[in-house]
Amino acid sequence: MELGLYSFAENTPDPLNGGRLQSPAERLKDLLEEIELADQLGLSFYGSGEHHRPDFAASAPVTILAAAAARTKSIRLSTAVTVLSSEDPIRVYQQFATLDNLSNGRAEIMAGRGSFIESFPLFGLDLNDYDALFEEKLEMLLKIREGGKVTRPGSAHTKPIPGIAIYPEPVQQPIPLWIAVGGTPTSVARAAYYGLPLMIAIIGGQPRQFAPLVEFYRETAEKTGRDPKALPVGISSHGFIAADSQDAHDIAFPAHSEAMSRIGKERGWPPTTRAQF
């Protein structure tokens, strides 16, 4: 089992400090120090999310990871997640191949459909194409990831590649690619079909509720002729560490409640209570 951290570089008013809001520069400085410390302490993984909202500072996570690569030695660096639906798979591959070279083979891609929709209008995409965009761009990224000259016909949402090599070549052959899901069985089946590691985001609810998804993933992988034991499974979930559990609750709850209640208001959820937390 490997342990790591991830962050969306959330930048919300600090309820324990008079509602102070950091500048994006301050927030990113703190984030890089956090990644550097995680590396020094021997954690295996650090992931940076991708969001295009005022309350998160990580709209270009690979840039953040590249800065972290220069300050770390061992920790693996990944997005959590790359919103592949609204990305160009060629640029995704080039960015991560560059990160892989900068980090001497520590880059990982975590591709998902994202939990927010801001990237769709931002990049001129139709939200009605949500599923098709991800499926077609994932197929394209997998083809590029094989290396060498890429020949691929175009599709509704991707351009043709007429026998062109994509550079730079990464250190790792291939760069690890995870599929991140929020609990949709179709997404789980897709990861199994392509033989890709599965990362489950547990933002709410108990981990045991997601056990059937992992069983479904392994069963589907076996049906497609793959060895389930060779496919890693991970979970990402909210967490906070302090000297003891009471301190953790007291320190984390105000900011957690503020952020989740704000997002919940957008989605029609009630405010987050201390009991729910």
Q: What is the pTM of this model?
A: 0.94
Tens-digit pLDDT profile for residues 95-153: 999 999 999 999 999 999 988 999 999 999 999 999 999 999 999 999 999 999 999 99
Average pLDDT over the chain reads 95
Distance from chain centroid for Cα 135: 17
**Residue 80, pLDDT score:** 95
Cα-only R_g, the chain: 19
Is 4-267 assigned to CATH 3.20.20.30? Answer: yes
Name the DSSP class of 165: E
**Residue 15, pLDDT score:** 74
| Residue 176: cis peptide before it, omega within 30 degrees of 0 | no
| 254, 15 Cβ separation under 8 angstroms | yes
